[in-house]
Structure 1
Amino acid sequence: MSMKPFERGDAPPDGSASTSQRSVPAISDAQLASVLDTAADGIIIIDEHGIVLTYNKACERLFGYTAVEMLGRNVNAIMPNEHSRAHDRYLKNYLGTGHRKIIGIGREVTAQHRDGTAIPIHLSVGEAVTSAGRQFIGIMRDLRARNESEQRLAQLQADLVRMARVSAVDEMGAALAHELNQPLTALMLYLQAVERACAKHGSGASIPTSVMAILEKAVHEAERAGSIIQRMRQFIEKRDPVRRLVDINPLIEDALELTILGSPPGTRIVRALGADLPQVMVDPVQIQQVVVNLVRNALEAIKGCDVQTVRLSTAWAADGVRMSVLDSGPGIRPEGIAELFKAFSSSKSRGLGLGLAISKSIAQTHGGDLLVDAGGGGRGACFTLLLPLPDATTAGTTTTKDGHNGPERHRGW
């Protein structure tokens, strides 16, 4: 490290130094070098031409250049191109006019690492006049950690606000489902009453057969709407997990009926559900939640694609049952795989980034796992839920908290 920045031993040219000034012991070059090299902030001293005279260890860590590489070099080597071109001009203007833009003030600026990475720093600049000319000392504090913390805090605050909105919508949805259930029930009863009244007239009734068929369809659709709302209420209600032996295929069918409501036209959901699959010991609502999350993500991935298909399959696995959801989208970008199952890492503007994280947690608490094949190169992404077979202690379970028999086929909620 060059130690020529300040000529501390020079006496004033008129020899008028006071006794007290002369009695102050000089700081040795070794002491100054020690102070500079133990400083947490980067310290650079340049002359009036921008040539680096001092460059401490913190600067080496911050910018990637060693002191040997920087001493005697123009300081604009650690500035982005748009700033480096103007730096020499700024120095010349200051020396000519005395007009300060940063000296004695300090502000946030952008520096540049050796590899080209932009580095936000807080720069404070001081000035000293020596017999060798003016020299400028810059103290630089790396702001990346602070900025990242602020960004994380801002993101967490935004996520909390969105979660509050989701919670409000969740409560509204439960209330809406409850309120809609009553008029739908009444509508179904009225339609059934009309159907019975028409049937009393016998074959000689004036009501055409086509009208009776329409009434029957209306009753069927009212029953279907009521069933969907009932399942929605049970899907979102607060409850303790309850595991029981169920067949996986009917469970998936129920979840699909909830998921495809409102899906865009042209979307194809292909089912390839395996036959004679063993029952699994699961919490049905939690597994439905995984299915809903995976299928909704798949529907999101195929938006705008020429072919919009989601293929859902079930089959035997090595030691259990697997369910796979394959989409016809572009696949997952390699840089996104590492963050895929982390909370709050969604790339969607309307998502919280919790769906996959929760789904993997549910799979693992059931003794299974949630795996992903990222696809790409003309293949869509494929998510696979693995569920183990029940062990000997649970295989014989016949009764659960809700009163269902274990071997009974799952038929809905």
Structure 2
Amino acid sequence: MADRPTWLVLTVAVLASAWASGVLAAIFATAASAIVGFLLVETPFRDMDHLVHAAGFATISIGIVLLTNRLSHWRRAAHVHEIDAGEHSRKAHETAEELALLIDGATALAIYMLDEAGRVAIWNKGAERIKGWKEEDVLGQSASVFYPHDDVAKGKPDADLDRARTEGRFREESWRLRKNGSEFLADVTITPLYDEDGRLRGFGKVVRDITDEKAADRAIETREAQLNSILATVPDAMVVIDAEGTMLSFSHAAQKMFGYTESEVLGRNVSMLMPSPDREAHDGYIARYLQTGEARIIGSTRRVMGCRKDGTLVPHELAIGEATGAGERVFTGFMRDLTEKEATAAHLKELQAELIHVSRVSAMGAMASTLAHELNQPITAVVNYVQMAHVLLEDPDAETVAEVREALADAASESLRAGQIVRRLRDFVARGEVQKRVEDLPKLIEEACSLGLVGLKEHGIQTRNAIDPAASPVLCDRVQIEQVLVNLIRNAAEAMAESPVRELTIATALEGPSMVRVTIADTGPGLDQEVAAQLFQAFLSTKTEGMGLGLSICRTIVEAHGGKIWVDTPADGGTRFHFTLMHIAPEDRDAG
């Protein structure tokens, strides 16, 4: 076999191996063909032609291997590219599907796209739900179909797109149309969409129906306006604070009460409305409550003092409520200004004291003739004793001097008696401040009887005392309780004026653990039930000359002492008046 055809055949074998099996097969075929080529020649290294053909074979075979390797690389790269392209295509498809699901899933929003001419290009389920058009009905239509006719006439659809293109993004709240012709208030956002080259591709639109939301907002605003109107007319001040004591709300009445405007106090600590020491301690009160939950004022009402802007104090009733909203505690304080109420009460107390004083003076005026007779007796006796002493001293001796001394002693005694009557009368009608003290009840009754019983014995009235020593002392204003006793004693005496038996009984007894009952009983004709039920009302009298104030004043005095007064009619006749006073037990006095 000649050399050249041999190496040619071997070259074809290498090429076939490279084509069929790739680079490794081509390398193996090259090596095997070289060995075979040298074995088939008897003197391979001596024949120059043979070496040239072998070199040509080697060169071509190496070229085939290198070319096969490059082709294999290109084939793999093409395959990888094809795989990547398929993966990118799949991912792009999945992304498009997910985006479509996301857009369609936003059923509360109408999300759609317009082309550069303003025609609908993409339409989601939310748009279909809100506007009423199906996708196949609206694609390709102008967006002007969504605008009210007046806006279309004004060119608003194109103007909105121009604004979006100019400003980069356009948002507004305006009215839009549904397919059925009804209008709804919409929150509209328009965004221009550009490709990588900056060319306008269209517009993205997001529309949200806010009709119900705005209606709810208007309802809330209306309720807030109504509430503010109510709070502005409520006379009680209202202040709302947070858990730090910072004021969040300050009503019109609070502004009037404290003298601050709302802007002056909002954001500041509520302690500015308090005098010392509450001002310094208030934050501690809140901190203790938040830590322990122990409510000392929340849920109750108490009288406290506030501090106005001008530094003056304002007494008021304070009630505090607690609420929790959005995880935060707020406290609302309702304050009722007591300035006028307390001033009125003080004035009323002055008038009441004046009325009680006038009543005492009036009572003494009614008893004037009796008191004059009572004073006339000791004064007449004094005159008689002095005249007798004067006669005896005309011719004095030891016996007459002794008689003069006795007469002068009797005159002095009668003078002291008259002085006691005048002193008690003066003390009784004197006007002074109400002073409650611990008083001995039997002695107080004795002094009251010295005025109230004046002249009663001459009318055949017998008195009987049933005094319980244990029912003493009592806490009272001596003059005012004497006034009650004198009034009841004189009323009892007048009630018995026509009675065959005229007996006046004054009794005391313990009434429960802390009170003493005083009873004034007579043997008069008694009281009708209807009269008894109204007896302590002002201007109601059973006397033709009476003003009907005596028993009303008695009730006022007794109730001011923490007691009560009442009347009953025993089965055997007569009338009994009872009133109670606060008993001071021995341990109470020791504690005091």
Q: Give the TM-score taking structure 2 as reference length.
A: 0.34
Point out which structure has higher relative CO (alpha carbons under 8 A, 6+ apart): 1
Q: Which has the larger radius of gyration?
A: 2
Whichever structure has more helix as a proportion of its residues is 2
Q: Give the TM-score taking structure 1 as reference length.
A: 0.47
